[in-house]
Structure 1
Amino acid sequence: MFDIGVNLTSAQFAKDRDEVVIRAQEAGVSGMLLTGTNLHESQQAQQLAQRYRHCWSTAGVHPHDSSGWTEDTAQALHRLAASERVVAIGECGLDFNRNFSTPAQQEAAFSAQLSLAAELAMPVFLHCRDAHARFLELLDPWLDKLPGAVLHCFTGSAQEAQECLARGISLGITGWVCDERRGLALRDVVPLIPAGQLFIETDAPYLLPRDLPKPVSRRNEPAHLGHILATVAGLRGDDPAWLSTVTDGNVKRLFGVAF
């Protein structure tokens, strides 16, 4: 199993990061993609990817941090992306839910990162919340210039999923699908995703699956990826081992990694 969304740079992992990685490996996680959410976090993620076996990272600026986007940021990300451990541009996109950065700032940073990914022929690791129409409007002109795209932590509607899938965008599913309060609509979407466009992730340390039996902490960990995979497989009527093999193949194809 490969976890495409791990915020291993989070301060929540500061005291036991090595142990978190070991627990993930013992739980059958064969690789992880470490998320970069701003320039500093992207640099840290790349360093951690070099430190841990079968880990890679993204380099980008999350919409929440878009207010800090500058040309210097773009140049620094360009240099960082030259690392063999950096395999995607992102996390980038739009988030009109909380607007920590203004919509205009988000759109500028998103478009700049799409341009960077196209220049470098790298896939994009995407974020979208409460901004679906504008997100696609900005993304559409770039899709034929990119080797691939995955919308991570997808929690949207069936229509939004279909509009993304029709464009060739893959979807990342997290433990949100294990939430009996907020995840019911997503449970109906999961069977609609072609296996070749499906990825699984924890988004650790966030989104701890609510149906885990007696979790010792509210912190999510990549070791819980198997629980998410089993839930997704059950909703689709797939054999978990088969689905793990297919999603691992998707990772290798999109990000060009071997694990």
Structure 2
Amino acid sequence: MLFDSHTHLDSKKFENDREFVINRAKSNGVSLMVNPGASLESSMAAVKLSEAYDFIYAAVGVHPHDAKTMDEAMLAMIESLAKKEKVVAIGEIGLDYHYNFSEPEVQRKWFIEQLRLARRLGMPVIIHDREAHEEIFKTLKAEKAFDHGVLMHCYSSSAELAKEYVKLGAYISIAGPVTYKNNHKTISVVEQVPLERLLIETDAPYLTPEPNRGKRNEPMYVRHTCEKVAQIRGISLEEAAEATYQNGLRFFGIPDPRTVK
């Protein structure tokens, strides 16, 4: 039972075979997926996917790259989507100072506004953090985001900061780069973060794990990330899969489909 906690099945890269990719993941043990939005359009698409498949859930939000498109009307539309039955988080939201596709001040404004939306709704948040580690940590604390749940998506910072996040109740999501040669930083995170605070993800169609690096990523490949986590922790694949599966259920507040009749 594998849980891909972050995948973008609405991506145009799946336009020609989306249903096949989804069913292939299911037949390869991926029992649950969360599809976060990155824009208003993709948030709407994420909700539609969640309504079409019982094992897919959605998150809604606007990525820092698209913060420049946001206004109050769009925020209200995100709020409306967030109230749909199978929407389990606000995300992915955050800061990205690597590309700066939106001006830093604009990113900050709409990151905070979406954190406040999540707080009003009592929903957890999925955080995108690229080259903004210290600022994001301080902002999450200032906005009391940890009160309702924080998931650090595709975590790329240090084990030391990860442990500070965990102290505040956050979860750390591990993606395909943990399988890349010499990625000692992420391996150290997996070694030092308690297993009960780790999730796994693909971020498909991006960040494809070994041995498929260079190909389009898809949810089926979350198994390779889980295998690497198991290897690092010195446990079986089954133990790693069950732990990260249960962690995903707990973080997102999803009932275990194995016990729901």
Measured against the shorter chain, the TM-score band is over 0.9
Deviation per residue, 1:141-193 (Å, 9 max, x gap): 23366321101100112222222222221110011101115x23211221111
Q: Is the 8 A contact 1:202 1:224 kept in 2?
A: yes
Deviation at 1:133, TM superposition (A): 0.9
Cα distance in 1, alignment partners of residues 164 and 252 from structure 2: 22
- Give the match for residue 221 of structure 2: 224
Deviation at 1:30, TM superposition (A): 0.3
1:123 equivalenced with 2:124 (yes/no): yes
Q: Is the 8 A contact 1:204 1:220 kept in 2?
A: yes
Q: Is the 8 A contact 1:118 1:145 kept in 2?
A: no
Q: Is the 8 A contact 2:146 2:169 kept in 1?
A: no
Q: Is the 8 A contact 1:117 1:146 kept in 2?
A: no
- Code of the residue aligned with 1:257 in structure 2: it is I
- 1:1-259 correspondence runs (5 A): 1-143=2-144, 146-181=147-182, 183-212=183-212, 218-258=215-255, 259=257
Cα distance in 1, alignment partners of residues 96 and 49 from structure 2: 27
Please give the root-mean-square deviation of Cα atoms over the aligned residues, in Å: 1.4
Q: Is the 8 A contact 2:210 2:224 kept in 1?
A: no
Deviation per residue, 1:47-84 (Å, 9 max, x gap): 01111121101000101111111101111011101101
- Code of the residue aligned with 2:208 in structure 1: it is L
Cα distance in 1, alignment partners of residues 55 and 23 from structure 2: 12
User: TM-score scaled to structure 2, two decimals?
Assistant: 0.94
Cα distance in 1, alignment partners of residues 156 and 231 from structure 2: 18
Deviation per residue, 1:62-113 (Å, 9 max, x gap): 0111111110111101110110111100100111111111111111011001
- Code of the residue aligned with 2:155 in structure 1: it is F
- Code of the residue aligned with 1:28 in structure 2: it is G
- Code of the residue aligned with 2:193 in structure 1: it is I
Q: Is the 8 A contact 1:8 1:35 kept in 2?
A: no
Q: Is the 8 A contact 2:153 2:174 kept in 1?
A: yes
Deviation at 1:117, TM superposition (A): 0.4
Cα distance in 1, alignment partners of residues 20 and 211 from structure 2: 23
Q: Is the 8 A contact 2:112 2:143 kept in 1?
A: no
Cα distance in 1, alignment partners of residues 179 and 187 from structure 2: 8
Cα distance in 1, alignment partners of residues 147 and 85 from structure 2: 18
- Code of the residue aligned with 2:209 in structure 1: it is P
Q: Is the 8 A contact 2:39 2:63 kept in 1?
A: yes
Deviation at 1:240, TM superposition (A): 1.8
Q: Is the 8 A contact 1:3 1:33 kept in 2?
A: yes
Q: Is the 8 A contact 1:94 1:106 kept in 2?
A: yes
Equivalent residues, number:
255
Cα distance in 2, alignment partners of residues 231 and 137 from structure 1: 31
Q: Secondary structure of 1:5's partner?
A: coil
Cα distance in 2, alignment partners of residues 94 and 245 from structure 1: 31
